[in-house]
Structure 1
Amino acid sequence: MIFTRTFRASLLAGCTFAVAPPALAEHGATPQTREDALTDTIIVTARKALRENIASDAIAAPRQIALPADAAAIAARVAGGDIFGNGALSGQLSYRGLAGERVLGRVNGQRFATGGPNAMDPPLHYAPAILVERIDVARGVAPVAEGPSLGGAINAQLAEAQFTTGTTATPQLRAASQYRSVDNSYATGGLAALATDRWRIGLIASREQGEDYRFPAGTAVGTLFERNLYGVHAGYRTGTGELFLEYRRSETDPSGNPPFALDMVYFDTDFVQGGFRGEIAEDVSLNLRLGHVAVRHLMDNQTLRQPRATPAQARATFADADTVTVEAALRFGKPARYLELGADAELTDRFVTITNPTNPAFFIDSQPNVTAERVGTYLQWRGQAGGLQFEAGARLDRTRQTAGIPQLGAAVPMGPRTLASQFIASGREATDTTVDAVIRAWLPGESVTPRVTLARKTRVPSVLERFAWLPTEASFGLADGNIYVGNQSLRPEVAYIAEAGLDLGNDWLTLRPTLFYRRVEDFIQGTPFDTTPGVLNTPVEMVAAANGDATPLMFRNTSAELYGADVDFVIRPSARLELAGTASFVRGTRRDIDDDLYRIPPANLRLSATWTSGRLALGTELFAAADQPKVSRTNDEQRGEGFAIVGLFARYGLNDSLALEAGIENLLDELYAPHLAGRSRVGASDVALLERLPGPGRGVWTRLTTRF
């Protein structure tokens, strides 16, 4: 699949980095309910992105990589992006220093709660790269219409059938297969569909499987993976609108998570959503969406972990998560000038039980029937004042969270029983009201467009941060080896954000630098449990010490700030040559104490050069990261070392519908460990215990794609 970046005229709105229609758009695009004008979009396609009806720059030169199983690694290529490397299928996007639940994640526009208490299944876990058509990242700040989030928002759009322009049923096919030598993995998947100008129906399916990957010093044991996904979707046009429905089933089989104490045994997850989108009258659009996601999960330290845990330390944790979402939005006006009123609701229910598979009398409900109910409403206005264009919006959300009564088995020792009793006697309920506001303004010019964004964004504490009564390593994917405990007195995070930049574009250059500043009041951070760390004078510290960490952390409100700059650029010195890339820098600090924020990515640069001639394309890509000396003492974070890796790629179009692609990754077989990589907990591995997981070594890859 070709990595292509398209700059739409909407980027004059000041916040677009690449917008293009889906790869099957030659059949006629499915109606979209919201503009992509303020997003960064990475296109994953085997064809050049088509031009929009409005003026745009289409970057035709392909940029190819070995598609990772983890789509978060694709999203991390956006300016300001990086990735928390927690396993082959568990990566989290880090965007301008924020990650986890601070970045709203969706698949096919549907938001949902992850099932793993340690985020083994972040949203992009459910987006196999082999099926992804595009990834949209709200640049800097998500519009209020996207829902609450502290920073940006990300949406992975999977392949789907598209309406045609005729009345005769037309078949549509997209298929891709890839082999990657560094982990002896394969991925295959595709779309088979039929469509007319009135209806469309499509089937998607994929399978991925890989072994432990190799790096220059050996093999990273415990990194194998296996996942299947299949689904069906359909749409029916009613005038200028569409009724749509889709169902997907994702099945992750035993897959390794070296940074965590447990590995995945399975994730069995069902997605259902449907609704209506489109015009109901002239210049009046309606969007209705109902959805349900059910996650069923098991993780243990027996199936894959080497060596297996002893019977006394054997653990198998069962986790369920159910999410029901309802969205409604009414828009008056045209895409470039409108008023939108909307409301949405999100209801989640989680249950986590820790067991010992060798002892039926040992079980602990670490998250007993934990619920979160959010109801929100918003108003968003896009307009123009003279030559100045703007988008302004505000939203109000009410969130109620509760936790049930944990049950414990007869074999559970007294320490956890004491904590459970204290938790049962506590309030186990919290209600928050939050207000978000965003305004973006830009001054379109023929070649230069200055832009500015001001925002107030909020995030309600997660149910894990509030109701984690049992000290465990669950931290929504921080994977730092620390033990955490929740705090029911947490307040919502409030971020005050300012961004400024410009878009410069002409026939041979596209340049989009941005400066940003984000001040976060009540930033939620793990802090020492009490004023005497290491002194076991509380039940929490005693239980934590029994679990291997005598200095547990409690989630508390602190104060923080993040600031930096990033840029994306494309240089076209000739018709056949294109230079493109991104550069990113972010700094994150605590404002309440003299310390740095945890897991802040180092400055990095991505640069590619692509030469094309007819059906042939050849290229190379460099990725370099600087040292990261600014690390968190609170979280015992170690400094990161800089590195640079180089890859080669090629593509040959056998015809208009069939292409062969190949490449070499880590050409110089560089030994490196990304700063945001998790630390290995696998004993029988060539990666030393608690060392950062290294990047893959030198390997070749090849891929065959077809579509018509």
Structure 2
Amino acid sequence: MQMVAGGALAEEGAPASRAERVVNLDTLVVTGVAPVASLTWVTDPRLPRQPVPASDGADYLKTVPGFATLRSGGTNGDPVLRGQFGSRLNLLAGDGALMGACPSRMDNAMSYVSPETYDRLTIVKGPQTVLWGGGASAGTVRFEREIPYFDQPGLRLDGSLLAGSHGRNDQVLNAAAGNPRAYARLTASRSEADDYRDGGGARVPSAWEKWNADAAIGWTPDPDTVLEASLGGGDGEARYAGRGMDGAQFERTSYGLRFEKKAIGGALDGIAANVYYNDVDHVMDNYTLRDPDPAGMMPMPMASNVAHRTTGGRVALEWRGEGWDLTTGVDARRSRHAQRSAMGRGQYLAQPWSVDARFRQVGAFAELHWHLAGRRHLIGGLRVDRAEAEDLRRTSGGMMPMPNPSFGQVRSETLPSAFVRFEQDAAGKPLRWYAGIGHTQRMPDYWELFSPNRGPDGAANAFAGLRPERTTQLDVGLRYAGKRVDAWVSAYAGRMQDYIAFDYMDAMTGATTRARNADADIRGGEAGVEWRVAEHWKLGGTLAYSWGELADAGQALPQMPPLESRLSASFDNKRWSAGALLRLVAAQDRVSPSLGNVVGRDLGPSGGFAVFSLNAGYRLSDHLRLAAGIDNLFDRDYSEHLNLAGNSAFGYPADPVRIHEPGRTAWVKLNASF
């Protein structure tokens, strides 16, 4: 387990100081994460986890109750929080927005994130913060890198090596050198795996190879000031059993500049500012990692090249007074999407780029933490965004292109967001309860405006017809942090007005999907407990449930994850550790096969399953830690409910068949820190 220094009931509303960093409590293998504050989760993504350590950001998020992943093979699944997808989940890497480019989200933002190259993962569930962007009705996810301050000249090295079944091998390096005035940092990772075999012994097309590298230099004139410049890049390829094309290129280029000044000494206590540039260049084809399917919809070699460039920045001022903390600021973002494609191997390279969409956003925010008398806290925030989208497609209509009636049009929306939450600590007890209500409005994103073949009835297309989505949600919860027992429970209920739904139409009409607005109701919750039964022994468990339906039709929302529980037991005497994890997933029969999202649709009911895994660890020294595990010990043949149908190019039948998960998988990991 990890926590924020200062106690299990630390106050997340106050600006974080350098002392409030993730503290590693000697955990060797992470099997689950508990909240460190109301609706806030913090963990160290460098620690080994079970199932086998993640190759992408979405996979690592599954450690947190309430998260799931829409699977399509071995890597680059799409993250889901409480049954919500896409830009309802605000995803940030290094405090900058990073967006994929594929119209079907083959390369969602988490595809470009190597979790172990970051120092901290912070999650806020629900619309309960306004600091990091608007429209995040599901929550906010931040992969963060800390400033490597040096009190004296020195060198720090962290790294890991991983080997596992199905040809899995990873290498990670984090290196920093500096003195009290300056530092340099390098983070790099490489991950590779072959096709895996499921519990039934069938080979699943799922191989990948990817790498990432980022470097930064910083100037620290005093312990409370830093100016940092950074650059980074990455690339990779991945086979997808559930898609008609594979990812032949995942190229990323990133630049950043940030400035921080803390402990100023007056009412203005701190300043944080950053600017960033993120550019992804993604190639999809049906010939690099497979052979074209002569009986399929793409019998000839073809490729599509898409790119998404995002630039932006943020300035935040931290104010502190007697009994209150306030953060105010502004942020802005611009993005440009372009594409090109061609038949024939490599022929797309001779085609010119066509910019089909531009987006602009600017926002102002303020978030206050008021420390009331009697161990009471009031946290609230207000945000206003101005968002614009420009349609630059000359044609639309998918397989039957026609002149685009909205070519050159610009949509502008003013989008307010706000929340208020009350928290109270029980007198003399390690207990806190909270209740909060939040409202956020979200501009339809690129995938909702440009991917559907049709828009709402009467609209020229989705760009012209889709309205912004408005979510109002109540969140309540309770946390207890005792000497031997930690327990927590959270619940939510919300109304999503103008929820953006995708109808999957009959292919004979020539239109694959239609995007429209409809009101929806959502509710659910998560709970967890950790019991230290003896000095070195610990038992734990979590439970997560999500539910949703279209309010008027009474139809189940699609792609809702089923009820899930995780039960764990562990032993740790500070030298040796051992653990067991039982993952229990219920059947899901609340489905809507005609509905979906930009990634896919419901494939029908799914069966439940149970997967049992073991892990062990040994601290070789203060600098070396060895961990090993066996996932799916009993070689269970199963598939996740959130899934894509197997593609016919790999021999899957025409009737939708879910992609099955890896069978028995063994892995061993060595972590080093100097």
TM-score, L = length of structure 2: 0.88
Once residues 586 and 491 of structure 1 are traced to their aligned partners in structure 2, the CA distance between those partners, rounded to angstroms, is 25
Match of residue 700 from structure 1: 666
- CA shift, 1:343, in A, is 0.6
Is 2:534 the counterpart of 1:574?
Answer: yes
Q: Please tell me the residue identity of whatever aligns with 1:525.
A: A
Is 2:240 the counterpart of 1:257?
Answer: yes
Once residues 293 and 469 of structure 2 are traced to their aligned partners in structure 1, the CA distance between those partners, rounded to angstroms, is 40
| Structure 2 residue corresponding to 1:244, chosen from 215, 228, 247 | 228
Match of residue 195 from structure 1: 178
| Structure 1 residue corresponding to 2:574, chosen from 588, 610, 614 | 614
Encode CA deviations 1:440-475: one digit per residue, 9 max, x unaligned.
210023321110111001211012322347579xxx
Conserved 8 A contact 1:13-1:442: no
* 3-state SS of 2:56 partner: coil
Conserved 8 A contact 1:268-1:295: yes
Encode CA deviations 1:647-675: one digit per residue, 9 max, x unaligned.
11000011000111111110111111011
Match of residue 33 from structure 2: none
Match of residue 371 from structure 2: 384
Is 2:425 the counterpart of 1:444?
Answer: yes
Conserved 8 A contact 1:325-1:346: yes
| Structure 2 residue corresponding to 1:301, chosen from 279, 286, 311 | 286
Change (3 A) 1:290 1:470: same
| Structure 2 residue corresponding to 1:354, chosen from 319, 324, 341 | 341
Q: Please tell me the residue identity of whatever aligns with 1:433.
A: T
| Structure 2 residue corresponding to 1:291, chosen from 269, 272, 276 | 276
Change (3 A) 1:405 1:95: closer
Change (3 A) 1:564 1:328: same
Match of residue 319 from structure 1: 306
Match of residue 590 from structure 2: 630
Change (3 A) 1:579 1:282: same
- CA shift, 1:7, in A, is 8.1
- CA shift, 1:402, in A, is 0.4
- CA shift, 1:426, in A, is 5.1
Change (3 A) 1:360 1:70: closer
| Structure 2 residue corresponding to 1:269, chosen from 248, 252, 257 | 252
Is 2:566 the counterpart of 1:565?
Answer: no
Conserved 8 A contact 1:504-1:510: yes
Once residues 592 and 353 of structure 2 are traced to their aligned partners in structure 1, the CA distance between those partners, rounded to angstroms, is 28
* 3-state SS of 2:361 partner: strand
Conserved 8 A contact 1:364-1:407: no
Conserved 8 A contact 2:522-2:547: yes
Q: Please tell me the residue identity of whatever aligns with 1:622.
A: L
| Structure 2 residue corresponding to 1:373, chosen from 350, 360, 364 | 360
Once residues 205 and 411 of structure 2 are traced to their aligned partners in structure 1, the CA distance between those partners, rounded to angstroms, is 39
| Structure 2 residue corresponding to 1:211, chosen from 170, 189, 194 | 194
Conserved 8 A contact 1:368-1:403: no
| Structure 2 residue corresponding to 1:595, chosen from 537, 555, 558 | 555
- CA shift, 1:298, in A, is 0.7
Once residues 597 and 503 of structure 1 are traced to their aligned partners in structure 2, the CA distance between those partners, rounded to angstroms, is 30
| Structure 2 residue corresponding to 1:176, chosen from 137, 156, 160 | 160
Per mean C-alpha deviation after superposition, the further-off stretch among 392-401 and 673-682 is 673-682
Per mean C-alpha deviation after superposition, the further-off stretch among 335-344 and 73-82 is 335-344
- CA shift, 1:518, in A, is 1.5
Once residues 243 and 230 of structure 1 are traced to their aligned partners in structure 2, the CA distance between those partners, rounded to angstroms, is 20
| Structure 1 residue corresponding to 2:119, chosen from 104, 123, 133 | 133
Is 2:241 the counterpart of 1:228?
Answer: no
- CA shift, 1:308, in A, is 4.1
* 3-state SS of 1:680 partner: coil
Conserved 8 A contact 1:589-1:597: yes
Encode CA deviations 1:168-209: one digit per residue, 9 max, x unaligned.
x1110001010111x211000111211233322111111111
Encode CA deviations 1:359-413: one digit per residue, 9 max, x unaligned.
96999999843001001111111112323202111100011100214379xxxxx
After TM superposition, list the pairs within 5 Å mapping 1:322-471 onto structure 2. 322-333=309-320, 337-357=324-344, 368-387=355-374, 388-406=376-394, 419-421=401-403, 423-424=404-405, 428-445=409-426, 446-468=429-451
Conserved 8 A contact 2:303-2:345: no
Once residues 41 and 335 of structure 1 are traced to their aligned partners in structure 2, the CA distance between those partners, rounded to angstroms, is 27
Once residues 624 and 425 of structure 1 are traced to their aligned partners in structure 2, the CA distance between those partners, rounded to angstroms, is 48
- CA shift, 1:161, in A, is 6.0
Change (3 A) 1:334 1:707: farther
Conserved 8 A contact 2:452-2:514: no
Match of residue 70 from structure 1: 56
Q: Please tell me the residue identity of whatever aligns with 1:296.
A: D
| Structure 2 residue corresponding to 1:648, chosen from 606, 614, 626 | 614
In structure 1, list runs of 5 or more residues that go unmatched. 27-34, 47-61, 409-414, 473-483, 545-551
Change (3 A) 1:689 1:660: farther
After TM superposition, list the pairs within 5 Å mapping 1:101-120 onto structure 2. 101-120=87-106
Conserved 8 A contact 1:212-1:219: no
Once residues 349 and 232 of structure 2 are traced to their aligned partners in structure 1, the CA distance between those partners, rounded to angstroms, is 35
Encode CA deviations 1:214-255: one digit per residue, 9 max, x unaligned.
112234432100001112112222432211222110111x31
Once residues 49 and 294 of structure 2 are traced to their aligned partners in structure 1, the CA distance between those partners, rounded to angstroms, is 44
Q: Please tell me the residue identity of whatever aligns with 2:390.
A: T
Q: Please tell me the residue identity of whatever aligns with 1:155.
A: R
Taking every aligned residue pair, what percent have the same amino acid on both sides? 22
TM-score, L = length of structure 1: 0.84
Conserved 8 A contact 2:201-2:663: no
Conserved 8 A contact 1:353-1:363: no
After TM superposition, list the pairs within 5 Å mapping 1:659-674 onto structure 2. 659-674=625-640
Root-mean-square deviation over aligned CA pairs? 3.1
Encode CA deviations 1:53-88: one digit per residue, 9 max, x unaligned.
xxxxxxxxx965420212312211212111111333
Per mean C-alpha deviation after superposition, the further-off stretch among 327-336 and 594-603 is 327-336
Per mean C-alpha deviation after superposition, the further-off stretch among 341-350 and 109-118 is 109-118
Change (3 A) 1:404 1:398: same
Once residues 318 and 593 of structure 2 are traced to their aligned partners in structure 1, the CA distance between those partners, rounded to angstroms, is 48
* 3-state SS of 1:281 partner: coil
Once residues 49 and 389 of structure 2 are traced to their aligned partners in structure 1, the CA distance between those partners, rounded to angstroms, is 45
Once residues 669 and 459 of structure 1 are traced to their aligned partners in structure 2, the CA distance between those partners, rounded to angstroms, is 43
- CA shift, 1:337, in A, is 2.5
Change (3 A) 1:686 1:562: same
In structure 2, list runs of 5 or more residues that go unmatched. 27-35, 596-601
